[in-house]
Amino acid sequence: MTYEVISTGSKGNAVIINGSILIDCGVPFLRLRAHTRPLKLVLLTHIHGDHFRPRTAAALHRERPALRWGCCEWMVGPLLESGVDRRMIDVLTPGHCFVYRGLGTVLPERLAHNVPNCGYHIWMSAETLFYATDTGSLDGVAAKGYDLYLIEANHTRAELDARLEAKRAAGEYAYEWAAAQNQLSREQAEDWIYRNIGPNGRYAFLHQHEQEDCRKK
């Protein structure tokens, strides 16, 4: 199973799996144009602008009108408002599998965040992936022995505490307090991965603070 990180972090999120599944479209369409031809499915997680850009969704639909869109019920309205044809939207239910013939099987996992959000379990060609970003916790979520994990590791506790203390001392608003509630720390991510990954599994950290690099593996 391959993945390409087009962008990850607060400035935009878009990851392509096996060249054919795009998870989130939180980047300008120009960042995706070169990747659109093989795409067959777009999966959406939540409404925040770094994960969903209405103009990008509209452009993808214009360029590839046969492209399927999979999302939970909270993203149906934003997709329709973007101009995506209702017939191309598959409404997914957390905890239930949806089979895309010739592509794979998708199961949304509800995630704790400050807006409705989900991650995804994906089965493709006998390989398994778990994807999760923008969540304060993965408690109760299991993905034992998967082949690939793409997981948020937004901050370390030490970094977060240092930034919080500096801003408190300066009397400034601390974004970091919200991050502590709604974003997974590196320590949490590592602990969860090591409780789920098998001997042949791989993982990569996403949505790291101030990270903007793009990686292809």
Averaged pLDDT, 10-31: 97
Q: Which of 103-107, 134-138, 190-194, 211-215 has the highest mean pLDDT?
A: 103-107
Averaged pLDDT, 119-135: 96
Averaged pLDDT, 59-67: 97
- Tokens linked to 26: 């939180």
Say if 211 falls within a structural domain. Answer: no
Helices and strands (H and E) in the chain: how many: 5, 12
More confident residue, 204 or 209: 204
- At 143-194, the pLDDT tens digits run 999 999 999 986 555 665 565 566 555 555 555 545 556 678 888 899 999 9
Residue 155: per-residue pLDDT: 53
Say if 139 falls within a structural domain. Answer: yes
Question: Where residue 212 falls among pLDDT bands split at 50, 70, 90?
Answer: very low
Residue 197 sits in a domain of what CATH number?
3.60.15.10
Say if 32 falls within a structural domain. Answer: yes
Residue 171: per-residue pLDDT: 57
Say if 214 falls within a structural domain. Answer: no
Rounded CA gap, 71 and 9, in Å? 20
Rounded CA gap, 84 and 206, in Å? 28
pLDDT at 216 over 80: no
User: What total number of domains does the chain contain?
Assistant: 1
Residue 186: per-residue pLDDT: 84
Mean pLDDT, rounded, of the chain:
88
Residue 140's region, left for phi above 0, alpha for psi from -120 to 50, else beta, is: left
Rounded CA gap, 154 and 195, in Å? 19
Whole-number percent of the chain with pLDDT over 90: 76
- Tokens linked to 10: 């607060």
Say if 172 falls within a structural domain. Answer: yes
Say if 212 falls within a structural domain. Answer: no
Say if 216 falls within a structural domain. Answer: no
pLDDT at 131 over 90: yes
Contact 59, 83 (CB under 8 A): no
Averaged pLDDT, 85-108: 98
Say if 186 falls within a structural domain. Answer: yes
Please name the residues in contact with 80: beta carbons below 8 A apart, sequence gap of 6 or more. Answer: 86, 89
Residue-range definition of the domain harbouring residue 155 = 3-206
